[in-house]
Amino acid sequence: MIARERVDSTVKKMKGQTANVLTLINLSLGALALMFIFKDDLKVGFILIFLAGLFDRFDGMVARKLNIESEFGKQLDSLCDLISFGIAPAFLLYQGSLFNFGVPGIIFTILFIVCGAMRLARFNITEFNGSFVGVPITVAGCIIAMCYLLIPFVPGYVFMFFIIAFAFLMISSISIQKR
């Protein structure tokens, strides 16, 4: 009887951490993307950012499906999202194009990251009512990462516009319905 209770307790604990493990995989992919971006392998960095996006999508779905949502998981997810969808995409676009603009390129890159952090902090302290206030960092980060594909075809100054626009859209008060 005691052994059965221990097994049940262990299974319950493992089930409770499933979403967090997926969240940490998101973080690991975002960190790995940064490592490849720093080594100037932007294509692999780009792919890893999108893989992080898949795991970010799965962690929330799993948490809701298994009814294991927690405040810890929410905070962990935000910290991981800042790396995978704030820092990694900003550095990808910086390394791919924005470095050509010197200090303004640096400032716009940092501003995107700062606005992403502010967006996540605001999300974590407000009650979610079915719609997001401001563009979610995952959306903004994935769009900024997709800009990498346009680098050979679009003048660099366009990316300056994109990164600043999405920085401000993240901290804007526009309402976006969750799907």
Q: Whole-model pTM?
A: 0.89
Count up the domains in the chain and report the number: 1
Residue 14 has pLDDT above 70, yes or no: no
Rounded Cα distance, 124 and 16, in Å = 20
CATH number of the domain within which 71 lies: 1.20.120.1760
Q: Give tens-digit pLDDT for 103-153.
A: 999 999 999 999 999 999 998 888 777 778 889 999 999 999 999 999 999
Q: Hey, what are 63's tokens?
A: 């948490």
| DSSP H stretches of helix in 39-70 | 42-65
For residues 169 and 134, is the Cβ–Cβ distance under 8 A? Answer: yes
Domain that holds residue 128: 2-177
pLDDT tens digits along 56-89: 998 888 888 888 888 888 899 999 999 999 999 9
Structure tokens at 159: 């990316």
Residue with tokens 């949502």: 69
